[in-house]
Structure 1
């Protein structure tokens, strides 16, 4: 019988090499969304499809199954949270799932995602949903095939949700979001009815794009993003990607007459990037060097964007720097600016929505993509269904598909099951932040002095360094001593917006 340690080494070497291939796809995807010439899209689709097929072959190789079968019965798997136990458990889980997917389907999913994303960009610019509809229908068909092949439960959506939030169920997420909506809706109604209105025009003055880029980069560096191991570029839809913990690519978009969109996207993506840079670099390619779930990942971005970046204490420190960089911000008082960046109103665009309304945007998408995948909602009817839900939940109706059903890249990219992780991330973020404050003292005192390292280091110790040793639910309870709850988030939202809008 082979020595388990030797077998484990073979498994890890194989996984690391697979990780290198996967990271190469990551760089190609980043390039596609930033600098790739328009006419290079079809060729890029073939490149990424080929690499995706190679990755799938490696992940499902018979020798991997043999190594895992041997290791699962060895002492190395005894402690599921040890390095060895985590690697064996998580790679075994991945193997079981990947072996159910035909390689041709994996390649076609990748190829279609690449082409569909370009079709989405063009259709959104032209506000032409009918041009995008065939790609949407093709993507839905492929994701239905994927869900059927994986078959986690008899609910197709569970198979796709599991890719992003392992172990989570559609039913549980629906229950969580329903409870959150019940408490958010009356808060949003109170805000809408308030006579107090944020001085939003402060953020719509002239903010030259070149200065926004420089200021945003400085802000990302200040909260802990390492630009020696990353960069910042422009894209149609902001994201964080790259090739590993020492090569993290942030993207954003700018508007010369809209400061908040670009700036807070940078803080948001920098939060993702700080997580990526905080993962153990020596564990690259292994589960111990990868994020536990997208909900936890999103908790890091939302924490830096909202709990830090939209706090009064942050702007006590940062507003003078902003006024030094932009003439249009000079003479603006702290109270005015703080209210402006926390303006709350029902809006059309998810990425530009405020803390109070954001999760309502997620609920719309969560419900619609379930209906698309089940076949209850034909793709052709998506724009009208989208508009109906926006009117129902937010009281607004998109004037176009570009600001409605085509505003997000996720469905063209085949990322079904992804959206709920945004809402879970908000819940995780608030609960982690409360614990960080309990451990570190009043975080506002740190922010007023421009000190962000204590929070970043706390996150690295308690969240980043663990990789996938613990499930998201286990990690929350391990860090905070409590299961996930919506109360920390709702408590913060009520306190902040009651003060700003003079609510009872």
Structure 2
């Protein structure tokens, strides 16, 4: 490989500054959703807006463009898989997209998202969409203006593509339409054949004080890989994970005394996100490579730990004695098989984060449908609750009793994350493909789970996914890990096999 030019050190320094500022912004966002007093929302919006201006100015600095241009001849002749060449390519992509957007607009988006997030909290508490509507209208208006910055560039075929690209580079509206049409065609008969009517029973039974739940989670999380030296767990309304660096991982959950599954599975979900960040190559710290390849990959990690691991039969065998030890009587009558069947039952429900694996992607299809209508101008924000309720009836056959169980259940739109939801479905598909590859390479993996040994899984994920960070894009990373392109079939096969194994299907339904 040719000797790295002097400009590379300058580029690294600039990338490090951007990473540091983004880390500070991440800390402020974590604080806003965990510890910040409610009255601090206005000042927090100002602070986040100021940081966004600084980052945007650094990304659009003409000197950064000149540095990237000066490095181009070297990058073309150097090893295309080297960290340095990949770092240059990632920063060039960020620079190219940022220069299309005025700093003022980027700052407005940051401020609007911060205010909307707080409005969402108030509206949710009051069960009143009207308290959220003006803030969401502002978010959607700014999203339209942001997408319009790329008109005439030929980069994006649809305005929604611009938003998708921020979360999953290269993902398109056309691809998603085809994907969701296929999934709905396959999932609707699966749900019809396997779902039981809602009966009010929880998948994990009993009333459990938060203190008892915390003691349970304090044993579960360290066993799977939570490192108390570098991680922490806090309470919030809508569970999320955030990292400021690979040495500073923040998870959150919600403790519901009549719904143990909320904390149990949200902690496993957010642990998957945290592990991805924690196991990135330390050499990439303070560069553009110390980021996820895409949110689809990120969600593949959370969904893998939550569902493929956390709802597996061997995990049930390992977890049951711990449930009994910490929570007692409700689990005394359970054996591992009953626990496995209970946590995998298919039941139509209103809340996405509580949904089983079979119905979950119908919740995402609903959100994709509504986001697309908002961006295409076919749906106004004022009509969103009614549209949500209609789509819930059409896709899930359920009546929505109130906005907390409907349009106000997710924080994403209040956080300005228009285009994020489809990455959950990509994550489900990728998780199934990754599981197929890793279980073939680690034939003892299920025995490891039953014995409480999760190190082989962590190591496989570190070597094949986590350590690379953003060095490869999502599709290339998936190919390298599995030898396959993104496919729907492994996920559907995984679902069918589990439904048969749990006795919810007599035999696998054929593909349509």
Same structural fold, with TM-score higher than 0.5 when normalized by the shorter chain: yes
1:177-236 deviation per Cα after TM superposition (whole angstroms, max 9, x unaligned): 2112211111000013x69x9994562412111121222232122111222111000111
- Displacement after TM superposition at 1:75 (Å): 4.2
Residues in 2 aligned to 1:491 and 1:279: alpha-carbon distance in whole angstroms: 30
Equivalent positions of 1:137-216 (< 5 A) are 137-151=137-151, 152-192=155-195, 200-201=201-202, 203-216=204-217
Counterpart of 1:62 in structure 2 is 62
Q: Do 1:217 and 1:232's aligned partners in 2 also have CA atoms closer than 8 Å?
A: no
Counterpart of 1:492 in structure 2 is 494
Distance 1:201 1:387, change over 3 A: closer
1:21-73 deviation per Cα after TM superposition (whole angstroms, max 9, x unaligned): 00000000000000000111101110111011111111111110010011112
1:84-129 deviation per Cα after TM superposition (whole angstroms, max 9, x unaligned): 1111111001100001111111111111111111110110111101
Q: Do 1:116 and 1:413's aligned partners in 2 also have CA atoms closer than 8 Å?
A: yes
Equivalent positions of 1:83-482 (< 5 A) are 83-151=83-151, 152-192=155-195, 200-201=201-202, 203-327=204-328, 328-482=330-484
- Displacement after TM superposition at 1:355 (Å): 0.4
1:302-344 deviation per Cα after TM superposition (whole angstroms, max 9, x unaligned): 1011010000100111101110011232232222222221121
Distance 1:199 1:145, change over 3 A: closer
Residues in 2 aligned to 1:410 and 1:225: alpha-carbon distance in whole angstroms: 26
Unaligned runs of 5+ in 1: none
Residues in 2 aligned to 1:295 and 1:498: alpha-carbon distance in whole angstroms: 28
Q: Do 1:284 and 1:290's aligned partners in 2 also have CA atoms closer than 8 Å?
A: no
- Displacement after TM superposition at 1:499 (Å): 2.9
Unaligned runs of 5+ in 2: 508-512
1:398-454 deviation per Cα after TM superposition (whole angstroms, max 9, x unaligned): 111111111111111110110000000000001001110111114211111111100
User: TM-score, with normalisation over the residues of structure 2?
Assistant: 0.95
Counterpart of 2:72 in structure 1 is 72
Distance 1:107 1:340, change over 3 A: same
1:119-157 deviation per Cα after TM superposition (whole angstroms, max 9, x unaligned): 101101111011111111111000111111134424100
- Number of residue-to-residue matches in the alignment: 500
Q: Do 1:18 and 1:55's aligned partners in 2 also have CA atoms closer than 8 Å?
A: yes
* SS of aligned partner of 1:74: helix
Residues in 2 aligned to 1:442 and 1:366: alpha-carbon distance in whole angstroms: 38
Residues in 1 aligned to 2:245 and 2:426: alpha-carbon distance in whole angstroms: 24
Q: Do 1:398 and 1:404's aligned partners in 2 also have CA atoms closer than 8 Å?
A: yes
Residues in 2 aligned to 1:498 and 1:456: alpha-carbon distance in whole angstroms: 28
Residues in 1 aligned to 2:287 and 2:312: alpha-carbon distance in whole angstroms: 36
